[in-house]
Structure 1
């Protein structure tokens, strides 16, 4: 009898307290954005930036009550922006079509001279005097804090293909990925072509280096692979949709977003596929906390995990 009463009491307490327990899940934010969004980055958990077509730049600020303010920032270009990265809250870079490079220094975005007219797809801002950007036709640019310079790869065995993503762990270790299964590794001196032995020339769309031994790469048809030291292995993603972007809040924990609007939770070599809460293609994702993440996509879609 006492055991029966205790069970009833436990159920009652769970039901009474359940409304007060926080439930973390992905939600579509009711924002009024009229452009496709291609990438998102947080310079801090309450200072999020998103960029997209026609030079669109949006800033999301979260106050102490959790209310979000969306500001469309003045952009110095009407060309589509494809990648964004911040080194610290008041230092950011964005790149896009026809070699567009923008810099943010805490007040406004300014256009920088670019050494290329190739479309740029991705940028990673590591420190004040070091950033890398990649783009079409094997384009790699390096930033020294003042100028952008083209990395010459003519005398290498690296094929001329589009590079879609760059991830910098240190100034001596970075990885770039692109079409036809290309993976390039930078050791601080030179770029080398990496053979994984596990892909069939599939287009890679994003890469994130999470520590000195680990990197995750995603691509078309649900491709997801991981680097452990010098070895690469394939991870079951549970989807055949293109996986467009990755973000990690620890060396092995993070998120991936897909063309069909689905989201993948990654934990080491395991994944969990979440059904889409919208049927819109998601293009970018950012997370630096287990309990907070952002995703952006076509038609001004913004989703947040909280």
Structure 2
């Protein structure tokens, strides 16, 4: 997950989870050494010799033009764990002035001020979580955050809490002409079972909610283009604001967008979940088109009643019984039986990302916090617990007792009949998808085009020639393997080399599977693509819901699952 970026003529920095600091010099991406392995949330600086980053556990980093140095936070106790001290209060935003003064904000009203020499704490007069900070044209500083909290720092350095009637959780702010400020965020509504976005303007005296009759997803970032203002947020939403009008634009992704960077070329870059990087021209917004309305093209897929509104992240076809299963949020596991979807008892309370056959013929479900659950046909029991905040994202079984699991931070687990063992994978990057020909020939795909290959003894890198994140892998044989990923990336291995195939899709492709005659990939914003043996075709689904999993039964019918409990079926042609 990427949170923010910063750029100059020499290159682009993008920061994110696990201490990720990535630099692009115009030719290639390089992962830079990071002093701490915690999420980095925001960047600000006057130039790359005076560049600051803030993040989790109160982390503050400084870039001197050559390397990144840690100057604050991530204090550990005698046991080597992060200590419960004020200095470790998470920080989420930073901004400053041309003279080098800067302010960083975070949880429990935490505000730190850099005076050009040292960082010191300032009293904001609030204990609310703060998520945004900006410097106004007149030198005053504004911070905002939870429950409509807005605080303003005057020229004497005193903070005042302003009376904002909109109880939104603000995550972004932008200074506008004439002393105005645009605030963006969102609130959780129980009846809607989700977040709704808010845009609020402050004119220097009072707050006004903008576009009150329009329904938005939660906003995360604000930016400027030659066409107007951009507001980004959850589920890939991008809105263009021009005077009193706001238009939804098609981003080509269903992933949450968390930050926006103005590039020296005049283009803008959005960054977000699953390593999303979107680039478009600031004048023409060339990567953003008017949102496609569902139903414009005849759909080859039909919707099914899943019986749930939970997010669905995984699907599995049991070849022995020709049965289909789906899984997702809050332990959700569904089975397709006698033509309809039915819910099994929940597999725990956490999210389930994938399913596989258990060694005894039962069902395994794996997901958040490294938990693996076993279903014996009646009830679930805990099969394995990693006891770490690491998510298992994919399972693969050979059907004969050999099982592999892959996930966050390069996690690979192996079951060979007695117990789960963690394997050295050779990477610390997330691994999203697994596929194997047998227990001695597996592939795992992940961040920045990474493909890891298991040969029965060790994992080695298997370069596909792309820097795009890869989210799934599937093949018919060791000479016929497909991968899919970010921005419609599709790759094919023919036994000798990888070929990156134009998919005619801007949408992220998140999952794929196939038969002896065709291959189907699905992804963000209802995207689907089908390979007929000769070339790829876009395959209208009739939905804009994100599709995160796909499976095919013995009859050649495809099933896709995704956001909001969406399940689609594609009949055999």
Shorter-chain TM-score bucket reads 0.7 to 0.9
Q: Which runs of 5+ in 1 are unaligned?
A: 1-23, 63-67
Task: Check if 1:190 corresponds to 2:455.
Answer: no
CA distance in 2, matches of 1:302, 1:86: 22
Report if the CA contact (8 A) 1:261-1:277 is conserved.
yes
2:373 corresponds to 1:99: no
Query: In the alignment, is residue 277 of structure 1 matched against residue 542 of structure 2?
Result: yes
Distance in 2 between residues matched to 1:127 and 1:51, nearest whole Å? 20
Aligned to 1:138: 410
Q: May I ask how many residue pairs the two structures share in their alignment?
A: 271
| Higher mean displacement: 254-263 or 114-123 | 114-123
- SS state at 1:221 partner: helix
Distance 2:459 2:560 in 1: 31
- How far is the alpha carbon of 1:249 from its aligned partner? 1.6
TM-score, normalised to structure 2's length? 0.45
Encode CA deviations 1:117-146: one digit per residue, 9 max, x unaligned.
211100011123201110111110001123
> 2:341 matched to 1:70?
yes
| Residue number in structure 1 paired with 2:355 | 84
- Corresponding residue of 2:335: 59
Contact 1:235 1:269 in 2 (8 A): no
Secondary structure of 1:164's match? strand
Partner of residue 149, structure 1: 421
The answer to whether the aligner puts 1:261 opposite 2:526 as a matched pair is yes
For the Cα contact (< 8 Å) 2:491–2:498, is it kept in 1?
A: yes
Structure 1 stretches of at least 4 aligned residues deviating more than 6 Å after TM superposition: none
Relative to structure 1, the CA distance from residue 168 to residue 110 in structure 2 (aligned partners, 3 Å threshold; closer, same or farther) is farther
Give the secondary structure class of the aligned counterpart of 1:41: strand
Match of 2:393 in 1: 121
Gaps in structure 2 of 5+ consecutive residues: 1-298
Q: Report what 1:16 is aligned to.
A: none
Task: Give 1:1-306 correspondences, 5 Å limit.
Answer: 25-44=300-319, 47-62=323-338, 68-86=339-357, 90-115=361-386, 117=388, 118-153=390-425, 158-196=426-464, 198-199=465-466, 201-250=467-516, 253-289=518-554, 291-306=556-571
Name which of structure 1's ranges 260-269 and 103-112 shifts more when overlaid on structure 2: 103-112
Q: Distance between the aligned counterparts of 1:130 and 1:71, measured in 2?
A: 28
| Alpha-carbon offset, residue 258 of structure 1 | 1.4
Partners of 1:46 and 1:61 within 8 A in 2:
no
> Which protein shows a greater Rg?
2
Distance 1:210 1:288 in 2: 15
Whether the aligned pair in 1 keeps the contact of 2:333 and 2:347 (CA below 8 Å) is no
Q: Secondary structure at the match of 1:241?
A: coil
Render the CA deviation track for 1:14-66: whole Å, top value 9, x for unaligned: xxxxxxxxxx942101332120111111215752111001111111112xxxx
RMSD: 2.1
Instruction: Give the stretch that moved more between structures: 139-148 or 81-90.
Output: 81-90
Indicate conservation of the 8 Å contact 1:246/1:255, yes or no. yes
CA distance in 2: counterparts of 1:167 and 1:258, whole angstroms: 18
Distance in 1 (CA, whole Å) between partners of 2:485 and 2:534 is 16
Deviation at 1:108, TM superposition (A): 3.6
Equivalent-residue separation in structure 2 for 1:235 and 1:33 (angstroms): 36
Q: Deviations over 1:65-100 (max 9, x none)?
A: xxx232211124111011122379943322101001
The alpha-carbon distance between structure 1 residues 88 and 145, as it changes in their structure 2 partners (threshold 3 A), is closer
For the residues of structure 1 that align with 2:397 and 2:387, how far apart are their CA atoms? 18
* Contact 2:407-2:431 at 8 Å conserved across structures: yes
Distance 2:461 2:387 in 1: 22
1:290 and 1:222 mapped to 2: Cα distance?
Answer: 27
- Give the match's secondary structure for 2:429: coil
Higher relative contact order, structure no. (Cα contacts within 8 Å, ≥ 6 residues apart): 1
**SS of equivalent to 2:564:** helix
Q: Is the CA contact 1:129–1:146 (under 8 Å) kept in the aligned structure 2?
A: no
CA distance in 2, matches of 1:89, 1:256: 31
